[in-house]
Amino acid sequence: MTSHDPHPAIRQLFDRDTFSYTYLLFDRQSREGVIIDAVREQFDRDLQLINELGIELLYAIETHAHADHITSAGMLRQNTGAKIVYSADAEIKGIDISLQDGDELPFGQYKIKALATPGHTSGCMSYYVPGAVFTGDTLLIRGCGRTDFQQGDAARLYQNVTDKLFTLPDDTVVYPAHDYKGRTCSTIGEEKHWNPRLGGGQSLARFTEIMNNLNLDMPKKINEAVPANVSVGVDYNPRRYVHEDFSMNDLHTAWQHLKENELIVDNRTLEEYAEGHVPGSRNIPFGEESDHAATLQQYDKVYIYCRSGRRAQTAYTNLALAGLSNVTCVSHTGMPNWIAAGYPVEQG
């Protein structure tokens, strides 16, 4: 184990209820690490291991929006500051980093590389580090993920496995998201040879025929897991949801340079607003923001403030959940700070 170790440390963790694998990768020297496909029910176990190993968790990475379990990525972010990472094509709300094919994330002396492998879902991403590939449900040991829901597409899966995964070095270790028979890993060479669906030079036509005739039941948790996973696995409790710091001083700067297609919203009560507000701001009382989502969406930028930052932050969360990405909220401060700074105030 020298500083020139070509491979990061890899820990494979298992969830018995859903036969899911979670992977913790880290640099033995710097202790920077990433976790792939963490499962909510195993959050305590995983966090304890991260702490015991002294790992500074940089990223909670997902291979896709799982249909059979709920991710703990949101909880890990809250507890470790890790950034949540998905494929841009997965269309997940509340993530920190969305990846395109070929993007790399550094941790310690290593980089993890994103390989877009849609097919099981339209947002599936595999992740490569020298010597190992984390294939999610795209490529399983002697199998592959189903392609009959979540915008699955058998032809795309076939193409991505044969073009992107089967062209990796043969001795690359394959770490899947699941195994139902107690196997832990495989290699690219093995799967190219022995995978009954995709190996042995299987044709696309035969593969598609196999996939179209699986007649599988829906996963037990799909109706719960997919909606939860598209918002990173946390019920957005606004008190826990942390928006980046944006102060009333920042708002003052924005106000000075406000463009025609930008809006400042005061989301206190009408009474508070009438007593004094940021000149030109519009009053949308707290709790009514979702009714105005369609209107607010039309602005390039929307700034929201209140008195202490709490209501603004909650409105921000609600609008983010409604799909808006143009909103900035003032957190931790509000109108009293604006007044104390001597900035202009409008009444009525």
> What residues make contact with Fe ion under the rule CB under 5 A?
137
**Cα gap 133→102, rounded to integer Å:** 14
In the complex, least distance from residue 103 CB atom to Fe ion, rounded to whole angstroms: 21
Smallest separation (angstroms) from Fe ion to the CB of 148: 11
Measured from the CB atom, is 134 or 338 closer to Fe ion? 134
Q: How many CA atoms lie within 13 A of 328 on its CB side?
A: 18
Both tokens of 117, joined, read 């492998």
Q: Report the residue number, 137 or 266, with the smaller CB distance to Fe ion.
A: 137
Residue type, 16: R
Nearer to Fe ion, 85 or 312 (CB): 85
List, in sequence order, every beta strand (DSSP E) within the chain. Answer: 9-15, 20-26, 32-36, 56-61, 83-87, 97-99, 104-107, 110-116, 125-129, 132-136, 173-176, 186-187, 262-266, 282-283, 301-305, 327-329
DSSP per-residue string spanning 299-322: SSEEEEE-SSSHHHHHHHHHHHHT
Smallest separation, CB 38 to Fe ion (Å): 14
Residue pair 99/114 in contact (Cβ under 8 Å)? The answer is yes
With respect to Fe ion, which residue has the nearer C-beta, 137 or 191? 137
- Closer residue to Fe ion, CB minimum distance, 9 or 222: 222
The pair of three-digit structure tokens given for residue 237, joined into one six-digit string: 């409790």
Q: In terms of CB distance, is 1 or 216 closer to Fe ion? A: 216
Nearest distance, CB of residue 16 and Fe ion, angstroms: 17
CA angle 60, 190, 5 (to 5 degrees): 50
Nearer to Fe ion (CB atom), residue 89 or residue 137: 137
Which amino acid, one-letter code, is at 104? E
Residue nearest to Fe ion (CB): 137
DSSP designation for 143: B
Smallest distance, Fe ion to C-beta of residue 29, A = 34
**In whole angstroms, how close is the CB of 67 to Fe ion at the nearest point?**
5
Min CB(69)–Fe ion separation in Å? 9
